[in-house]
Structure 1
Amino acid sequence: MGSDIGANIRRLREAHEWSQARLAREICRAAGVAGDPVGRQEVSRWENGKRTPREWLPFIATALGVSEEVLRTPQKPAEPPLPTLADFLPEGDPLSPLQAHSGRRTGMGAVVDLRQRVHGLRLADDVLAGGDLIRPALRELRSAVKLYREGSHSGEVGRQLLRQIGELTQIAGWIASDAGQHEEAERIYRLGISAARQAEDHTLAGNIAGSLAYQFSNTGRESEGLTLAHAALNDAGSKAPPKARALYLDRVAWAHTKAGGIENGQQAMRALGEAGEALSEDGPGTESPAYLYWVDAGELRVMESRVYTELHRPLRAVPLLREVLGGYDATHTREMALYLSWLAVALADANEPEEAAAVAERVITLAADISSERTAERVRVILARLRKYAKVPEVATLLAEHQAA
């Protein structure tokens, strides 16, 4: 019975597009109680069947606008439930405010200051690698969480702080992943999903989840990456801004590509097409979060070319990559090295080992000055792919010079 009630609470909450924290507040309001006797963690326990609401059941029903009987009646879904981001929240609640607030009251000025620092870190990531930024990124994240947990603030300031913590985790997780610290990155991303959901910012939650899904797909956890990429898309819903939806679909395409197989390849191409359609809806009348400034048609072409490369369709990948690289900002050294690495692999697949070796040499030169595990891994992939052409003089020279890699 408890599991049935929990499933119904979750189903109805998601139909309202409420976070667990929002439902907790509505329950307390329905019960007419002050403070927070019910919090996100308690709602999570109910939904997971770990506890039964009992005395809170009437107030849950009131908050959700249904009868108690509806909450008790088992539901038989016609099809398997869609994946949800709730399954990827961290254990406990690392963002729960401390009971005794010893810090001074935090105002909107602190939110503005944090927003500027987050944006500065994001811009720094455009030109610096994870190994260079990991320490300042973690320092900023610890400071932001401490400000939220230990300070005293209004509900609106608290939500804005949570939103900025979410944005900070997205870039800090990306930096940690680029530095090769994948466990740390996963912990950061899960914290961010929790912060964004508590702030009821579904677009931001989807962006953070998509980044974690991307890491899963690239680190041998393809099945989890596929599930999470779809959860990010499903949870954000059709109301997400066009740029955000295009990015979610890009992540879905990559997750299907890395999962392998003919059917997944077809799903990847379908998602790429939908991503392009979503981005085409972006225009003067639409508004997207500032952190999606980099999502444009060029980025979609990059993902499309990578998918073609991974699917061993070099005749489609090579022209796309050359087009993108022709107009790319050379100051973004890491991205330039990464995109060139895909071109090198696609050229090898196209049976152009001499040209592939020349591009690979450029990748290795760029990667030598970048403290990025992503670029280091791509160098290893290129060299492994070129070994079948070891008798080609240009390739033999490259392998001899860089065999330590």
Structure 2
Amino acid sequence: MPDLGVSLRAAREAAGVSLSAMAARTHYSKPLLGLLETGKRAIKPEHVTAYAHALNVSVGTPYGSPDDPLRVAHEWLVTDVPAEVHPAAGRRVGATLAGKLERRVIELRHLDDVIGGRDLFPLVREELISAQTVVRAASYTERTGRRLLTVVGELAQLAGWVASDAGHYTEAQRVYLSGVSAARDAGDHALAGQLLSSLSYQVANVGNPADAALLARSAVKGTQGTTTPVVRALLLERVAWAAARARDRDGTQRALDTVDDAYEQRSAGVEEPEWVYWLDRKEIDVMAGRCLIELGDPLTAEPLLSGAIAAYTPEHAREVALHQTWLAESYARAGVLDAALDTIARARRTARDVSSTRLDLRVRAVESLCLVR
């Protein structure tokens, strides 16, 4: 990535280290380092780590701002932080409160199935602030502390998701990254991966797909050996989507294949985290269909989308309408304009009472596509 290469060079030059000296310190060749710094060779986490060690700086320094998603992802990957919870002064709380907060997160998460982000975000944000205050101001045992930090991480994921749905992209990124910190402190690698992959999904939609792909792959790498089959499938879906948005056909197909492989490994004997309850075969088909549209294969996408839409119940209006926009796009790109116009009209009717900026933007974008065609 060119910007990261520039940052590596800036960090080296700020330390007064020549390229030849850096080659000696890192044991990488001078030509390779030159390619990395000019963005002509893909930069991997181990390259950034080598620079940080050679220059005696934090591994996050080459990434720049502490709020940069790529910096957070890299530090999460390479830093072995013990999950310690330090009791703070204040009212002592126990397992009863932790249990109530855990149940509240589940309630809010399921509300997201039927309420748009613009309506739900203020409520989730207040819940997140409240949970963060408990973690910061109360005292508790280490076990309870881990549970509270996990609640904060899960609320941060949900808050980021609904903020993004409401069009608050900067706020969503900030919340996602704060959740990564809480999940790390709780020792929940799968949740940290979910937060980063959720952010990668937003970046793929409204930012640089190359950044999204790096974040998504970091989430998969950082959770190796700690995830259940359905969680693995979810993280790999985000890799597939970022690859599709980057028009990487081979990378998309490989990721979609691994999604299917991971999902088929699920079993009744493996307990999945509650936050992955929604990922099922129809959702996987929808993502595959969307990827195919991005890669220019709308005819193959159509039956995947149609079958999934038919399986939804009416109360899931936002998801139905969103998937209808993709179905309409598949028709439009295949040149079946009557079906495209009919489907996007149905999507608009379905979306009528849904308070979702993400959905509004999709409907308008596909309507414009249909009119142009």
Give TM-score, length-normalised by structure 2. Answer: 0.78
| Equivalent residue, structure 1, for 2:264 | 280
- Bigger mean CA offset, 285-294 vs 245-254: 285-294
User: Are the structure 2 counterparts of residues 321 and 157 from structure 1 closer, same or farther at C-alpha, using a change threshold of 3 Å?
Assistant: same
Question: 2:353 is matched with which residue: 364, 369, 373?
Answer: 369
Q: Distance in 2 between matches of 1:51 and 1:375?
A: 40
- In structure 1, the residue matched to 2:369 is 385
C-alpha separation between the residues in 2 aligned to 1:118 and 1:48? 43
CA-to-aligned-CA distance 1:11-56 (integer Å, 9 cap, x gap): xxxxxxxxxxxxxxxxxxxxxxxxxxxxxxxxxx99994379xxxx
Q: 1:108 is matched with which residue?
A: 95
Fraction of identical pairs, as percent: 38
Q: Please name the residue that 1:250 is paired with.
A: 237
Task: Go from structure 1 to structure 2 and tell me whether the alpha carbon gap of 1:50 and 1:361 turns closer, same or farther (over 3 Å shift).
Answer: same
Structure 2: runs of 5+ lacking an equivalent:
1-14, 27-51, 60-69, 78-83
Does the 8 Å contact 2:298/2:333 carry over to 1? Answer: yes
Query: Given the alignment of the two structures, is residue 212 of structure 1 paired with residue 196 of structure 2, yes or no?
Result: no
Q: Residue in 1 aligned with 2:185? A: 198
Would the alpha carbon gap of residues 162 and 48 (structure 1) be closer, same or farther in structure 2, given more than 3 Å must change? farther
Residue 50 in structure 1 maps to residue 37 in structure 2? no
Q: Distance in 1 between matches of 2:215 and 2:181?
A: 14
Match for residue 80 of structure 2? Answer: none
Partner of 1:312: 296
The CA distance in 2 between the partners of 1:331 and 1:154, in whole Å, is: 41
| Contact 2:74–2:218, Cα closer than 8 Å, also in 1 | no
Runs of 4+ in 1 over 6 A off after TM superposition: 45-48, 96-100
Aligned length: 313
Matching residue of 1:223 = 210
Q: CA deviation at 1:291?
A: 1.3
Q: Distance in 2 between matches of 1:383 and 1:256?
A: 25
Question: In angstroms, what is the RMSD of aligned CA positions?
Answer: 2.9
Instruction: Give the counterpart of 2:305 among 321, 331, 339.
Output: 321
Bigger Cα Rg: 1
Query: Is 1:83–1:230's contact at 8 Å kept on the other side of the alignment?
Result: no
AA aligned opposite 2:244: T
What displacement does 1:362 show?
Answer: 1.1
Equivalent position of 1:354 in the other structure: 338
Q: Does 2:276 match 1:292?
A: yes
What is the CA–CA distance in structure 2 between the aligned matches of 1:192 and 1:113, rounded to whole Å?
A: 19
Q: 2:88·2:139 contact (CA, 8 Å) conserved in 1? A: no
For 2:54 and 2:234, how far apart are their aligned partners in 1?
30
The equivalent position to 2:249 in structure 1, one of 265, 284, 288, is 265
* 1:85-140 CA-partner distances (Å, limit 9, x unpaired): 24479xxxxxx989962x21011111101101111100100000001111111100
Letter in 1 for 2:174: R
How far apart, in 1, do the equivalents of 2:85 and 2:299 lie?
55
Deviation at 1:274, TM superposition (A): 0.6
1:40 counterpart residue number: none
Aligned residue number for residue 169 of structure 2: 182
Q: Work out the CA distance in 1 between the residues paired with 2:186 and 2:368.
A: 45
Q: Structure 1 CA distance, aligned partners of 2:195 and 2:55? A: 23
Extract unaligned runs of 5+ from structure 1. 9-44, 53-81, 90-95, 390-405
Are the counterparts in 1 of residues 324 and 347 from structure 2 also a CA contact under 8 Å? yes
Distance 1:188 1:88, change over 3 A: farther
Residue equivalent to 1:118: 105
Aligned counterpart, 1:402: none
Name the CA distance, whole Å, in 2 between partners of 1:217 and 1:136: 26
Residues 51 and 84 (structure 1), Cα distance of their counterparts in 2 relative to 1, 3 Å cut: closer
Structure 1 residues 48, 343: closer, same or farther in 2, change over 3 A? Answer: farther
Answer yes or no: is 1:85 the counterpart of 2:92: no
Question: Is the Cα contact below 8 Å between 1:84 and 1:234 reproduced in 2?
Answer: no
Are residues 1:167 and 2:154 paired? yes
Which range moves more in the overlay, 335-344 or 303-312? 303-312
Residues 50-75 of structure 1: CA distance to partner in whole angstroms, max 9, x if unpaired?
A: 379xxxxxxxxxxxxxxxxxxxxxxx
Confirm or deny: 8 A CA contact 2:87 2:140 kept in the other structure: no
Does the 8 Å CA contact 1:308/1:316 hold for their aligned counterparts?
Answer: yes
Change (3 A) 1:118 1:134: same
1:205/1:304 CA distance change after superposition, 3 Å = same
